[in-house]
Amino acid sequence: MPFVQVSIVEGFSEEEQRRLLTALTDAVVTSLEIPEQKVAVVLHKVPADAWAAGGVPVSELQAPAQ
């Protein structure tokens, strides 16, 4: 059984998360030619202040410019 783990920054809507989970499942099903019931996907939501890009916390990158 394939097991996919994905981390994203918190803040995506439930609909966006659902689309991601579905797309990941579909990609594994297509790639491995297995039933979707055999694919497990876990979505880890990380707080924006605990994720950095280029050494800058995403919470700062998402803040509106002043």
* Helix (H) or strand (E) run with residue 3 in it: strand 3-9
> Could you give the CA distance from residue 51 to residue 20 in angstroms, rounded to a whole number?
19
Question: Residue 56 in 3-state DSSP?
Answer: strand
35 is catalytic: no
Active-site position among 2, 35, 47, 64:
2
Catalytic center residues: 2
